[in-house]
Amino acid sequence: MCVTGSSTVLPLQKVFFFFFFFSETEFSLLSPRLECNDSLTMAQVEKRGGLLRKSSASKKPLKEKVVLMYDEIFMTEDPSKCSPRFWEELFLMKVNLEYLEGKLESLDGEELMKIKDNINCLFQHCIQALGEEHPIRVVNALQTLCALIRGVHQKNKSTSGFDIINMLMGFDKAELCMKNLMESLDSLLCAEGSESLKSLCLKLLLCLVTVTDNISQNTILEYVMINSIFEAILQILSHPPSRREHGYDAVVLLALLVNYRKYESVNPYIVKLSIVDDEATLNGMGLVIAQALSEYNRQYKDKEEEHQSGFFSALTNMVGSMFIADAHEKISVQTNEAILLALYEAVHLNRNFITVLAQSHPEMGLVTTPVSPAPATPVTPLGTTPPSSDDEHRLHSGKLCLIILTCIAEPMRHRKKAADKNLPCRPLVCAVLDLMVEFIVTHMMKEFPMDLYIRCIQVVHKLLCYQKKCRVRLHYTWRELWSALINLLKFLMSNETVLLAKHNIFTLALMIVNLFNMFITYGDTFLPTPSSYDELYYEIIRMHQSFDNLYSMVLRLSTNAGQWKEAASKVTHALVNIRAIINHFNPKIESYAAVNHISQLSEEQVLEVVRANYDTLTLKLQDGLDQYERYSEQHKEAAFFKELVRSISTNVRRNLAFHTLSQEVLLKEFSTIS
């Protein structure tokens, strides 16, 4: 026993769907799952076996010294029994990740349990080495911990008969071990020292967090909750040099930690994130997310549309890339779900973060890719899902994005600005509305994303409710929204048979009609000018045939004893004011044309008739138009987020296995030991 000392379609114009679009080349040099097959080079086979190259054909290959020391650990006896300096020497040796992980994976549960004491001892000595002065020892200890965690993870199955905590550190020492480990990592992350060490600390933490697909079943995280590194993560995000180097990993790590047993117990990371009000920290997090979006936009631009600068504009280009009307036009994109999750948690939990979205960030152009450590080959960003043409996956990504927009829409910030779209300082609400309009007009397709359309209309409705409540007169090109909504109604009607076979289209139709009812009933309180209200009536009258057709369709179905009777009846009743407007003004417009001998009236002439006949129009007051159900993750979306976090955890672990954990770059910083 060891005793240690203490120590899509067209991309939407305005969207914030942040997906990296990296090279599909995989960096597989350090994969722990390499098999000795014909595709492997001799060097790879030798490295996996811990062999040095043969000096001649007649001599047997020699094993690296570190591999010989690993072999001693995999014996049942304490390796330091005959070599008192064993552990001190081990951490001076360059780690062979592949051999150590492969050796752990090759043993069955029973064989591994036989050497549990030595594994515990190695784990404890790794933690002790993190407090060493010599950085090479610290690097090797961190590397070894990564290999131990990943290797033992493969045995963490219900049939193996052991728990990962017991296997790594022993139940009796787990609390002290994890306390010392987390304190050491916290110190390394907060210190002024090597950026490479900080990077490796974050990689180790990500290894630790993702050892199970379902992070809520990862009992090791109980110790990470008790020994919080939240402040260390915030320090990285608030300090520009550290943020440039490690911001991405820090944000992904925080997003995962926030999701540990979030519905079952008090998660301290949720509590702390919800009360962060430091501007530098919030802006730092925003910059990391914005940089991820900008990188995606930069690469996506080569295939599709323009690239814009500024924070929210960087967040507003990508929705349409996930959906297309024709399957042959699909573009494979690598969705960065981890960054999407991070943005969601920030917006959902922290009411101060919403202000970051509305700000311009000139620093974005200064954020560069980390230069140390730098992989020799392109790597897949952590938490990304490989490019896929799978419609279901695209729908899930779109759903997450619209959930984020829903959270943004509820506490929406407004500022009075001019309506010119070319102005860089429009309120955030205008960008969101632009996005919703773009989504509406570009996703009318055979595989109709009904759930996403409902969420889209809900976002618009919540914005209008805020406008009405606060009497904020927003200068916006409302006609574009009205036109998009009417076109959507026309699409539903023209595809009635096909859509009704899969969806209740009347739920969506009712929501659209009620948006018009919101404008009709309360538009005079939030539309920018009286002429805007006149234009609303003009659009309804101009497109009266679409509303007449909708009324005919819902009347037909509401008078039949079919399954859609009740749903169609609701739409029939909701159309009462729209039909009143049409029936009131159309005869007067026709009379005006006849009296003045005009075959086709201009827009201004129609508006003149409208303004002259408001007084005789009778409308019914409709209740509940400005009411909506507030967003609730736990009650509505818990299953969705559990599956999403599981997917991200799996992808982070997989990408870490291919990520740059090799020592070559790290050791260049520490080429000598003083």
| pLDDT tens readout for residues 464-514 | 999 999 988 999 999 999 999 999 999 999 999 999 999 999 999 999 999
Weakest-pLDDT range from 207-211, 213-217, 326-330: 326-330
Residues present in the chain in total: 674
Residues 6+ apart with CB under 8 A from 358: 312, 413, 415, 427, 428
Residue type, 12: L
Q: What pLDDT, on the 0 to 100 scale, is given for residue 495?
A: 95
Tell me the sheet residues that pair with 51. 63
pLDDT above 50 for 111 = yes
Weakest-pLDDT range from 222-236, 316-330, 445-459: 316-330
More confident residue, 653 or 45: 653
Mean pLDDT of 594-623: 93
For residue 383, give the nearest of 341, 344, 346 by alpha carbon.
Answer: 341
Q: What pLDDT, on the 0 to 100 scale, is given for residue 399?
A: 93
Q: What pLDDT, on the 0 to 100 scale, is given for residue 641?
A: 95
For residue 453, give the nearest of 504, 516, 519, 508 by alpha carbon.
Answer: 508
Average pLDDT, the chain: 81
Angstrom distance (rounded) from CA 426 to CA 414: 9
Confirm whether pTM is higher than 0.85.
no
The number of C-alpha atoms within 13 Å of 163 and in the hemisphere containing its C-beta is: 11
Q: What pLDDT, on the 0 to 100 scale, is given for residue 365?
A: 47
Give DSSP secondary structure letters for 614-665: STT------TTTT--PPP-IIIIIHHHHHHHHHHHHHHHHHHHHHS---SHH
pLDDT above 80 for 418 = no
pLDDT above 80 for 280 = yes
Angstrom distance (rounded) from CA 148 to CA 122: 9
pLDDT above 80 for 18 = no
pLDDT band at 311 (very low <50, low <70, confident <90, very high): low
Mean pLDDT of 359-366: 54
Weakest-pLDDT range from 16-20, 344-348, 414-418: 16-20
Residue type, 291: Q
Q: What pLDDT, on the 0 to 100 scale, is given for residue 312?
A: 57
Q: What pLDDT, on the 0 to 100 scale, is given for residue 580?
A: 97
Mean pLDDT of 172-190: 95
pLDDT band at 110 (very low <50, low <70, confident <90, very high): confident
Angstrom distance (rounded) from CA 580 to CA 6: 82
Strands in 357-442 per DSSP E: 384-388
Burial grade of 669 (CB within 10 A; 0-12, 13-18, 19 or more): middle
pLDDT above 70 for 370 = no
Sign of CA dihedral 98, 255, 19, 422: negative
pLDDT above 60 for 330 = no
Q: What pLDDT, on the 0 to 100 scale, is given for residue 134?
A: 85
